[in-house]
Structure formats: C-alpha cells, structure tokens
Structure 1
Amino acid sequence: MLAQHEHDEAVERLYRLGEAAERAGDLREAAVRYRVAADQRLGDAAVRLARVLFALGEHAEATRWCHAAVADGFPEAEELIQEDSEARQRFLEHAARAMVGAPTFDWVPAAVPAGRVEPSEVQERTRALRALDRRYGGIACHTLVLAHLDAVEPMIVVGAEEMWTAVAEVHELAGWTAFDSGMPGVALPHFSRALTLARQAENEALIASVLTRAGRMFLHHNAPDDALKAFQLGFVAAHNSWADRRELSNPPQAIAALTTKVGTYGADHVRARVLTLTALARNHLALGDPAAAADLTGEAVAAAANLRSARVDDHLRWLDEEARDAGASALVKHIAHRFAHRG
C-alpha cells in the first residue's frame, strides 16, 4: 500500500510539473510529463496532453488521447478535435476579413501600460530578436520574444498606428518562432493578432508578410490548400501595398487597384479611405489630370476633417509638393484648407 501511495504521489508530481511546463511555454516538456500521467489515467491528464499535442502539431496522437479522455468521462475532449480541425479555417476567415478592413481589437492585453515606450524602441528590440532567430533558430529565442511581447503589448491601448505596427511585428515574430519551435498551434493566435494590429495600422505590407509566413507554416504541416489561400490573400495585400507606395511607376495600374480598394472602406475606416483617396489623387496628377486629382483631394480632406493622423498628414504634404510642381492650384488650396484648420 505504501508503494502504491508513493507511486500515486510521483504521478501527481509529474502532472504538476506538466502544468508548470505548460505555463512556462515549454510544451514539449509538458507533453512528456502529461503523457506519463495520462498513461496512469490521472484526472484530466489525457485532455491536457491532447491540448498540448494539438499545439505541437501532433494531430494523430492528440486525437487518440482525446478519444481516450472521452472514454474516461471527459466529453470536452471531443471539442478539442473539432477546434483543431477548424483552427486554420478560422484564421483564414479572419485574414479575409482583414483584407476588407474588418478586424478591430478582439482581445485585451493582460497588463496595463507601465511607463512610456516609443515604437522605435520596440522595433529595435524586435530587430535584435529577429537576428537571433535567423542565426540560432526559433527554439533559441521564442521565450525571449514572448517576454518582449509581454512588455510591449499593453502599449497598443495608448498608442496609435506606429505602435500598432511595432507590436504587430512582435506578434509576427512570436508566431514565426513558435512555428520554428514545432508549435504551429501556438503560432496561429500570434499571426491572427498580428493581422488585426496591422489592419488597425493600415499596413498592407505587414499583412502580406504575416500571411506569407502563415502560408509557409501550412505547407510545412501538409495543408497545401490552406497554404494556397493564405498566399492568395497575401498577394492581394502585397498588391495593395504596391498601389499605396510613393513611387508612381505605373499610374494607370495603380488607379485601377486603388479605385477598387477605396470602395471597400466604410464609415469606420476613415484613415484607410483618406490614404487611398490621396494615393488616387497623386496618380491622377501623375497622369496629367489635375482636375480629377483636385476632386479626389477635396474628398480626402473633407473625409479627414475629424481625423488626427501623422501618416495622413505626411501623405498630404507629399501630394502638396507634387501639386505645386505641377501648378495644380486648386489641389494646393484643398490641402492648405486642411492644415489651416489644424492650426
């Protein structure tokens, strides 16, 4: 009886060690500990093991443990199978919504902002961690990336587009290093939040980058159809980014893309609409159509009446420079009206 008691205590201890490893983000260690406890049919160890295995991308073994858990009286394990099969689909649906400007913040950071951090500081640390990932691999730096994320994510509630972009890049790196660490289930939520923040910042290039990384992960884990969908959405974002850029290498093509894009923005996406109208005006001006450019600029300035965005002001200043060079006085007056009312 004493030996049995000691055995039970040892199994219970392994279960607790599994919990600790899972909280620390060491899912492979957690799986080792939970597997022993699940073999001994300790409590909900099989459920916990299945959840960890799904996060590690070990779908077949995870499914077997789900069935074992259901047989042991844990019906919630059946839901894990359904959730896993739907995870990529949910991500792709979220990505599709991001392409039309739908996502808004759908989570609250775990902590409140502590002090003030500049976006440039966040990006500098992210670049250093990205260099570590390239040199030593995701396993070597994933924990460091998560610590960085914990420190900076609260800033999204007090920041604006520059901070949203900076934190989105951290989530993108967290997802990438999770994937490289063999944890695709952990990567997807990070990629999803990166998309949300990139859309808030109207950063099409970053959206394209996130979707490309997600597509590569899907390919690696034998989901070519989902990979193709991610790549296709990423291509659209990349094309939108190209249409937004300052270089006017192909105005007719940019006008076609931007005209389609501007129609996707509703009343809740004022900044995106203003930026797109400004880009349209610049391209019409480049084609020698100052009247159309002036109309679009007037529409942009009117839409931006209650908008406070340094990026919008920068784009309008670039347009103003080009309008002055082209002698487009009506367009210049529209922009002057914007800044006169800003003080």
Structure 2
Amino acid sequence: MRIEELLAQHEHDEAVERLYRLGEAAERAGDLREAAVRFRVAADQRLGDAAVRLARVLFALGENSEAARWCRLAVADGFEEAEELIRENSEARQRFLEHAARVLVGAPTFDWVPAAAPVGRVEPSEVQERTQALRALDRRYGGIACHPLVLEHLHAVEPFIVVGGEEMWTAVAEVHELAGWTAFDSGMPGVALPHFSRALTLARQAENEALIASILTRAGRMFLHHNAPEDALKSFQLGFVAAHNSWADRRDLSDPARAIASLQAKTHGDDRVRARVLTLTALARNHLAIGDKATAAELGGQAVAAAANLRSARVDDQLRWLDQEARTAGASVLVEHIAHRFARRS
C-alpha cells in the first residue's frame, strides 16, 4: 500500500474514532439522538463495541427492532454482552410492573442510593416550587425543551432523600416522575422507565398513595403510546388500586362503610409503622362516623400504641382530627387514648 493510501486510512480511522468519542460525550450529556448518529457511523465501520453502544442508545429511544439488529451484528463480532442487552430490554416493562406490584403491597423496595452526598440545605417546598415551574415549562414547550433542566434539578435535589423525611421523599419522587414524563415526551421510553421506578419507590417511602397512582397512570400512557396495551392495562389497574387506597385514607368521611372495607384489606409489616398507624387511625375515624364508639376507641388505642416511637407530622395531624371528632361524638375513651400521645410530647 502506498504512503498516500496509508495516510488516508489513518485519517479515516482517526475520524471514526473521533465520532465514537463524540457519541460517548453526547450520551453522557443525555442527547441520545445525537449519540445514535455518532455511534451509527462508528458501528458501520465495525469500530470496537460501537454496535453495542448504539444498540443501548436505540433501546433507550424505543427503537427496539433496529437495536436488536445491531445486537445481533455485535454478537457476530464477538460481543456476547449484546445478547444480555436484548434480554434486559425485553423484560424491562415486566420488571417495572413487578416493582409496581411490590410497591402497592408495601414490600421493601429501596434498591439505590444517590451518587452524591447532599450539599447545603434544601427545603421540600423549594424542591416542589422548582418542579412546578418545570411542569409549566413542559406543558407549554414540551418535554424535549425541558428534560435537561429537569435532570439538572434532579441531580441537585436527589441526594437530600438520605437526610430528609416523607416530605422530601415526596418532593424528589415528583421530580423523578417529571423526569420520566419528559423523557417519554422526548422519545426516550427506555430512559423514562427507571425514573418512574424510582418515583414509585420514594412515593412508597412517603406512603403517598395518590402519587403512586399518578406515576402508574403516566407509565401506562407511555406503554399505550409505544404499542404495549397489555402492559398499559396492568399499569392502569395498579394505579386504580393505589387511587382507591388514597381515597380510603382521605379525610372525607362521605362513605365510611366503604372506606372501612377498603382499609381492612390493607396489610402492613412490622417495618411499616407509619402506614399501620395511619390505617388504624383512618379505621377509627370511620368507625366513629358510623357510631361504633367502642371499636373506634379500640382502634385509636392501637394506633397510639403503635406510634409510640414514631415522629410524623402527618400522623399527629390525623390523630388531632380524630380527637376533634371523638370530642364531638362524646367518645371519651378514645379522647383519653389520644391524650396519651400528646401528653408524652409536653
């Protein structure tokens, strides 16, 4: 080969390598469509694991058939990990739905910690204020316009879940939910699913049934859009159960008999003290609403006993509401039980 040909080949190889690196940079920046363009050129030239990298990006973009084709080419070139990539993608929705089902029954689900430690101090209200502003941006300009900003917001606030309580868990869950929604609207369903999964985990930590229902509804809409109606139906059904649970926990006592039936079906393990206390308090309030003072007193006493070592503003609010209703109903035994809770605080 002549020197001119060798130089041309060298320049070509350098150009392809440069495109591969640009693909890596675009992927790190979250610009998956740009990454796909760069990796596709490198994969066409059979550069290293470019076909595997391209397939991973294409799966995240929801372009599954093309991704699978590149996986098969990568396997033929000796990159056996591409087979695992196909399997993981095909099972992604199933794993999400299994996770959602575990969340719904209250099973422990916390399986990750933030990559960074919290820096400074952030209030949940500040997190929610920024999230609401980004939601407004999404509604007006679309997910593509604001998804990078949502990720920046998430990166800044997610570390605070390790030092926060239920209010912070709820606030960060809402950011993950928005990150998933804007990723979906940006044409990246594979990116959206992990965000929805983490949003569910944090919503369960906060015992926020209404937020769980919202997340599952959004995930179902994404499945429906990407031609997975059976998975969409499962997600909607799980969301309906969460919404029903939220209804049963609410302060409105318009249908106490129905609420009692729903609440009695809820089970909580020994590790979910707050959830058990909230359920017992809601049961007591609804029994009081139908005039069953004895059962209300018994359940209220159980709630106060279970909450002995629990510090939760939400629990205290629920017990204060129960106390108000017990005084109005003349349920003196129940009032006495609740008084023990707040006497220990003084």
TM-score normalised by L of structure 2: 0.98
Equivalent residue number for residue 318 of structure 2 = 315
Q: What is the CA–CA distance in structure 2 between the aligned matches of 1:112 and 1:317, rounded to whole Å?
A: 36
Match of 1:294 in 2: 297
Per-residue displacement from partner, 1:157-209 (whole Å, max 9, x unpaired)?
00000000000000000000000000000000000000000000000000000
Which residue pairs with 1:26 in the alignment? 31
Letter in 2 for 1:136: Y
Contact 1:184 1:217 in 2 (8 A): yes
Specify which of 127, 130, 138 is matched with residue 133 of structure 1.
138
Residue of structure 2 equivalent to 1:50: 55
Distance in 1 between residues matched to 2:338 and 2:46, nearest whole Å: 71
* Deviation per residue, 1:44-74 (Å, 9 max, x gap): 0000000000000000000000000000110
The match for 2:342 is 339
Counterpart selection for 2:76 from 71, 78, 93: 71
- Decide whether the 8 Å contact of 2:102 with 2:109 is kept in 1: no
Of residues 191, 197, 212, the one that matches 1:207 is 212
In the alignment, structure 1 residue 281 sits paired with structure 2 residue 262: no
Q: Retained in 2: the 8 A contact 1:94–1:103?
A: no
Distance across 2 between alignment mates of 1:129 and 1:102: 31
| Partner Cα separation in structure 2 for residue 232 and residue 104 of structure 1 | 20
Q: What letter corresponds to residue 294 of structure 1 in structure 2?
A: A
* Alignment of 1:163 onto 2:168: yes
Distance 1:290 1:37 in 2: 74
Q: How does 1:184-199 map to 2 (within 5 A)?
A: 184-199=189-204
- What does the per-residue CA deviation read over 1:296-320, in whole Å, with 9 as the maximum and x for residues that have no partner? 0001011111111111001000111
Percent same amino acid among aligned pairs? 87
Residue correspondences, number: 341
Using the TM superposition, give the Cα deviation of residue 342 of structure 1 relative to its aligned residue in structure 2, in angstroms: 2.3
CA distance in structure 2 between the partners assigned to 1:40 and 1:32 by the alignment: 13
The Cα offsets for residues 122-147 of structure 1, whole Å up to 9 and x where unpaired, read as 00000000000000000000000000
Distance 1:108 1:92 in 2: 21
Question: Which residue pairs with 1:6 in the alignment?
Answer: 11
Q: Which residue pairs with 1:249 in the alignment?
A: 254
1:115 aligns with 2:115: no
The alpha carbon displacement at 1:106 in A equals 1.1
Question: Is the counterpart of residue 272 in structure 1 residue 275 in structure 2?
Answer: yes
Instruction: Report if aligned partners of 1:278, 1:316 keep a CA contact under 8 Å in 2.
Output: yes
Q: Which residue of 1 aligns with 2:332?
A: 329
Shift of 1:331: 0.5
CA drift at 1:105? 2.2
What is the distance in 1 between the residues matched to 2:163 and 2:314? 17
**1:110 shift after superposition:** 1.1
Corresponding position: 1:94 with 2:104: no
The equivalent residue for 1:84 is 89
SS of the equivalent of 1:266 reads: coil
Amino acid across the alignment from 1:265? H
Letter in 1 for 2:182: T
Q: CA deviation at 1:23?
A: 0.3
Deviation at 1:249, TM superposition (A): 1.0
Please give the alpha-carbon distance, in whole angstroms, between the structure 2 residues aligned to 1:206 and 1:133.
19
Tell me the CA shift for residue 108 of structure 1: 1.0
- Residue 3 (structure 2) aligns with: none
Matches within 5 A, 1:207-246: 207-246=212-251
Deviation at 1:227, TM superposition (A): 0.4
Q: Distance in 2 between matches of 1:152 and 1:105?
A: 17
- What pairs up with 1:132-151 in 2 under 5 angstroms? 132-151=137-156
Q: Which consecutive residues of structure 2, in runs of 5 or more, have no partner in the other structure?
A: 1-5
Task: Indicate the SS of the match to 2:244.
Answer: helix
Q: Which runs of 5+ in 1 are unaligned?
A: none
What's the TM-score once normalised by structure 1's chain length?
0.99
Q: Distance in 1 between matches of 2:240 and 2:207?
A: 16
Once the two structures are TM-superposed, the CA of residue 103 in structure 1 deviates from its matched residue by 3.2
Instruction: Determine whether 1:154 maps to 2:159.
Output: yes
Distance in 2 (alpha carbons) for counterparts of 1:278 and 1:245: 11
Q: Which amino acid aligns with 1:16?
A: R
Distance 1:136 1:322 in 2: 47
